[in-house]
Chain A
Amino acid sequence: RKEVEQDPGPFNVPEGATVAFNCTYSNSASQSFFWYRQDCRKEPKLLMSVYSSGNEDGRFTAQLNRASQYISLLIRDSKLSDSATYLCVVNTPYKLSFGAGTTVTVRA
């Protein structure tokens, strides 16, 4: 079983739509969680850290469910500029494990 698994998508949504996707992780000792955004042929950049109570940053909301070992990301009011691959990242002691990414395409 992979350490971090994501729905690869692609999610193809119109501008203004809401899109949500999940990520599951296998190591119950995981201590911190992140969502990164990666544009084509670029390095990943931090979108948001995921806190145990869930957190919101503008149009983006992240949730963590430790009991079921999954993390979710919700994007409201999608913009064309939200088109990217979203990487779920799970921290186990000493290393970060990455999911393969969820591709989101927002169309006009």
Chain B
Amino acid sequence: DGGITQSPKYLFRKEGQNVTLSCEQNLNHDAMYWYRQDPGQGLRLIYYSQIVNDFQKGDIAEGYSVSREKKESFPLTVTSAQKNPTAFYLCASRGQLNTEAFFGQGTRLTVV
């Protein structure tokens, strides 16, 4: 089945560690996005990529990094510079600029 897959579903990180969240899609979509959601709040854009080997900072990019080496994959690294990383992270993709986005099931990251 076509879709977008995030892993892991739950992730625990010690303070000072970098962690990488995986996002893979087989929808042949050019555009991919990473959002962060905190309890009771909306989605905030971290990074987005319109095409392979290109990506742009979103509204809250500090403390995060991404890569887009393959069309199917858009991993997000949460670095130790991110002061408050505990959140629900959502990856999305879409085929054309004005169409809807499809979401993965999310990764819930907790700092312990």
Contact yes or no, B106 A43, CB < 8 A: yes
Chain A 92-108: CB-based contact to B (< 8 A → 1; otherwise 0): 01111111110000000
Kindly state whether residue B45 has any CB partner on chain A within 8 Å: yes
Given contacts A31-B98, A93-B97, contact A98 B35 (CB under 8 A): yes
Contact yes or no, A94 B97, CB < 8 A: yes
Given contacts A32-B98, A44-B90, A49-B100, contact A95 B58 (CB under 8 A): yes
What size tier do the contact residues of chain A reach? 20 to 34
Q: Which residues of A contact B97 (CB under 8 A)?
A: 31, 91, 93-94
Kindly state whether residue A70 has any CB partner on chain B within 8 Å: no
Kindly state whether residue A17 has any CB partner on chain B within 8 Å: no
Contact yes or no, B43 A98, CB < 8 A: yes
Contact yes or no, B99 A32, CB < 8 A: yes
Q: Complex: how many Å from CA A96 to CA B34?
A: 11
Q: Complex: how many Å from CA A32 to CA B101?
A: 12
Task: For A44, give the chain B residue with the smallest CB separation.
Answer: B103
Kindly state whether residue A87 has any CB partner on chain B within 8 Å: yes
Kindly state whether residue B42 has any CB partner on chain A within 8 Å: yes
Contact yes or no, B100 A94, CB < 8 A: no
Kindly state whether residue A45 has any CB partner on chain B within 8 Å: yes
Task: For A101, give the chain B residue with the smallest CB separation.
Answer: B42
Contact yes or no, A43 B42, CB < 8 A: no
Interface pairs (9), CB distance under 8 Å: A42-B106, A44-B103, A46-B102, A93-B97, A94-B31, A94-B50, A94-B97, A95-B33, A95-B48
